[in-house]
Structures are given as structure tokens and as C-alpha cells.
Structure 1
Amino acid sequence: MAADTWTHKPFSYMKCRMRFLLTSFFFLSTLWASYAFSEDTTRIGMNQRVFATYREEGGWTQLRGAGFFRLAQNILSTNQFFARDTKVIDITTTSVYISSIYAEYGLSERFTALAYFPFFMRVVLNEVQFQPSNQRIAGDALNSVGDMMLGLKYGIVRNRPFVLSASLWLGLPTGNPEGGETRLLQSGDGELNQLLKLEAGYSWSNTPLYITGGIGLNNRTEDFSDELHLDFEIGYTFLKEQLTGILKLSSIFSFFNGEALSAGNGIFANNTEFVSLGPQLIYQFSPRWGLDVGAAFAVYGRNILATPNYSLGLFYKLIPARK
């Protein structure tokens, strides 16, 4: 019995070992940073104060009572797909529209609550018409909410040009994994996942420039493969702190340790991988309100739509009253 159990569950063993190694890395990194950097109560530089309130995520945390709230629209539409061998192939035109809310709120000087809620998703699969026979394959569509994510971030190193934070996200299966007439369209993957991230950032005191990067381990259930997340970002503010230009690099790599079937619309497939690069422009037209526009272009992909991800957002910064 023991031999049969070992033979038929190699993926479970690999997943446990990988989780242990990466969780140990995060834990030891947090201990080292807490020991190496004591709390610095000196004045926060202008750049750090600005970037901490602009950004979604990153190494910075919110001050107690401060917040960041963003209403966004993302659009993807394409007739191309990154196949399992990473080659781009032709598919029926598929479009995905995502309306979402992202929020950060400072619970204390170190803890920040995080939330992401795609409150409306529309996935459309176009009709196909063959020539000269005029035969048709009907299209399909799904309107639904997406998978919600709730998180908590802890500021390990704060109030310095260099900041470090750790966060835990819980991905809740609030979306529809089997939608449309064909039951192939999805606004969620139907699994509960846990994403552990370590993020660092640095801002220059005399130059409106910052960089930030992060590494994360996404533990997925329902026999989906676990993932490694890597991110890097650089930003520069000009025009009297009203305009910020950002260049983002985002990537996800699969551990290929799960055998869940892939989704029909290429958004929530198992063993998805990509590396994307893209610009974002932020315009802050008042101390509290601002707009952002961006695009992400995949330079590498696997099991995912081969299309730019365009985004438009309106954000609000909650600034606590000074005592």
C-alpha cells in the first residue's frame, strides 16, 4: 500500500517540498530584515510619501487611517493564443472586459488591509462563419462577477528610502468557472488560492524616482499548479508631482505540479505562464483624485491569450487628518 501511494502521488510530494522551501525563504527573510533594520522615526522623504499613496501594492504600506481606492476597466481582445509550446496560434476571437475595484487601507502603522474585487466581467466568444458554405458556429457570452482577493500586508522596514513588506492574499472562488451556453467560458477558476509575497522598494530623496520589485508564491488548490510571481517597476514623477510615468515588468511561472484541466477561454488555464512589459501614466489632478492609463504587452506566454491588456483607472487617496 505504501509503495502504491508513493507511486501515484509524486506531484503531492513535490508540492509539499517546494512550499516548504519557499515558505522558509520568506520567513527567514522577514526575520533578517526585522533584525537588521530598526524603526527609523526620521522625516519621510517627499518621494516616498508621494509614491506610497500613488501605488497599488509595492513595498510601501499605508499610514494608519490612510487609503487608496481605484476603480478600473481592463480590456483584452484577440484571435491569437500562446499554446502549450509557447507558440502563437490562431483561435476564435475572444474578448474579456473586467470592471474592478482595488483598495488599500492602513489599519495601523505596519498593517495594511488589501482587497481586489472584479465586480463585473464579460467574456465573449465570437461567432464563426465559414466561406463559401456560410456554415456558422454560434458565439457565446458570459456576464458574471470574478474571483475576489483579500489580503493583509505587513511593513517590515518603514520610514526609510528602502522599504520592505510581506503580504498574504487569499483568492476566493467567487467567479463562475462554467459559464455561457457552452459552459466553457469562465470568470473564475473555482479554486481557493493563497499568494505569499515579499516586496521591496526604494525612493531617492532628491530625485522623483523610485523602483520596486517583488517575489511571490501562489499556492493553488483543486489540482492547479503552484506559481512563482516576479515583478519589477520603475517610476518617475514630474510636472510638479502631477504626472508619473511608470514602466512595469510582470511575470508568472508555473511549477507544473498540478493536472487540472485548462479553461476554455484562456484566462484561467492551468500552467499559465507569461512575461509582460508595459507603460503606465498617472495624472493626479487634485491632492486626492487621479487618473491612470496603461497597457501590458506579453513578450512570452504559455496557455494564455496573446493580446495586450489595456487599462484605465480612476483613483482616490484617503488622507488622514493631521493631529
Structure 2
Amino acid sequence: MKKHNFSAGPGILPREVIEQASVAVQNYNNTGLSILEISHRSKEFVAVMEQARQLALELTGLEGKGYRALFMHGGASLQFVMVAQNLLERKAAYINTGTWASKAIQEARFFGEVLEVASSKDQDFTYIPKEFEIPTGISYLHCTSNNTIYGTQFKKFPESSAPLVCDMSSDIFSRDIDYSQFDLIYAGAQKNMGPAGTTLVLVKESVLGKVSRAIPNYMNYRQHIEKESMFNTPSVFAVYCSMLTLEWIKARGGVSEIEKENSKKASLLYKAIDSNNLFVSNITNIEDRSMMNVTFRLQDDSHKEMFEKLVAQAGINGLNGHRSVGGYRASIYNALPFESVQLLVDTMQQLKNKV
């Protein structure tokens, strides 16, 4: 039986994508070769890469606006380094809203001065900072759109005269926003776009080439643009599955329709948490609650054993919170069906009926 997968990452993929990918593993497009062994230089895979990059720009509304889409190795963690190496001349500003933002700040400090202009660390990253000053003379302002571990999310992004950079690893393609307000977006695929192994970068070409340092070829975005994401052998299978997932999003009506479904799922789950006196949300500021990663805990840990037994019996997977936070985390990414969220809500009510 297929489990209801609430894992934070690698996260759930659409069933259709898994079915298509499983066929391609056996025989891709009647080539007599598996997608796992096909040459990345073959016309078949070049077409996959071109389609994936084009769809990424199309679904974010960035086509024809001076942006390039790249599929790269190294996850968001490598992008913490590459962003600073390519863009940070003297100083940059960062908003610290959690573990991954903190790691991005740490890496950027190897390349210049980092100004932490706002932080929610004082309250264990349970809110999004809103009132802060953005200094002049910075190379860029960096934010993390969705806090995967703690469960917060930017609903409105800061306005800055400097280039705006965003880590969207856990909520890209999940909501209809103005993606053109960002000059560079990066996102690990393994939460909302595909399996682990590739990272999407959407970069406005006009922000590149402005630092005085020499950049090693592999770390240089302009090299990857020139080589069309083929500087070295790409993660063929991960890019292929990402292409399938982007096609799936488009077929469902695009990002705006996906957002409607995600909003329904999030509303259902948060309502259940707030109305069930056995549970409490980790995020009290309703406006800051993530639509992707819902974090909550039991009011009384004496119910833990019973609840987790009910969860297991329901076939629910990946509900445990991050090890640094504890409690529970329901990651309700694009591919998670509404029925899975309803099942979780019913299981929470089942606990209440038993206590």
C-alpha cells in the first residue's frame, strides 16, 4: 500500500511522475536504453534539459525577461557559496529566518561583509521579521522564502533597490507570486520539483559579471549559462523527473491552480490543529504560517505513544519534526493529495475521541 508521505525532503512526487519515470528506467522513449544510462549529450536528453529549463521559466512567468534557468549539482548548500562568490563584492545583507538562512550567512562571510539586517532567532525562528532597514551600498539582499524546519513563510517580500536573492527550496512552484521581483532564485529539487540530485537556479543575466574577484569556472554562473547546464555531466535522472513534474504542474493549470489546492490543504490542517485541544501550532502568528511545512506538537506528551500508533496504522509517513525542533511536521507539498491531509486530520480527531 502506498503510504501518505508527509516527509520534508526528499518529499512526495506525483504518482504520474513516478509511473512515467519507472517506464523510462526500463526503456526511455523506445531508445532501448534506460534513462539511467542514456548519454547526456544525446539528442534525447538534450531535449529533456531544454524542456525542463523552458518550463521553469514559463511556470514562473520569467520567459523573455532576461532570466536563464540552470540545473546544477550540489543542492542549495552549494548555492550558498555560489551566490556570494558571483555577486558579493564588498558587503551583502541577509535576513535570518532559520537554519538554512543561517548556513547561507555562514558561507557568504568567506567572500565579504555580511549584514544580518533582520532575524527571528530571538523567538526560535517562529516568526517572519517585517520592520527592518535595508542598508544602501549592498551587493544584494538575501532571504529564504519558506522555513522548512520551523514552519514559517514570507507572504510579502521586502522591497530593495539592491538585487533580491531568494532560496526557494521548499516552496518554489507552490504559489503564484511575482517571481520577477527576484534577481536570482535557487531551489533544491527534492521538495517540490523532483528527486534529490539537482538544483534549479533562475538568474537574471544582468546581475552577473560585477564582482572583481576571479571565479573558478565551475563556480561561475556565466560558464553554466554558456554550457546550457552541461558544464559537466548533469544529474540526468533528477533533471528528467523534474521535467516530468513541471509538465505535471502545467497540466494541472499552472502555479495559480496549484496554489488553490495548497491553500485548501493548509487551511484544513491548521483549522484542525487550532480546534483540537490536544495539539498546538508552533507558529502563533497566523500570517507567518507556512503553507508547505506545518509544524505542531502535542499539548501533553503522554499522548505521544497513542498518537504515533494511530499515525502508523493510518499509513502516514514522515510526520516527525526536525530533530532540532521535535514535535511534528506535516510537509504538504504540491504532490500531496488533499485526501492525505484529510486522513491526518481524521487521525488527530481519532486521538481526541480516544483520550
TM-score category, normalised to shorter length:
under 0.3
* Structure with more relative contact order (C-alpha pairs < 8 Å, separation 6 or more): 2
> What's the TM-score once normalised by structure 2's chain length?
0.22
Pick the structure with more strand per residue.
1
Larger % of helix: which? 2
- What is the TM-score when the length of structure 1 is the normalising length? 0.24
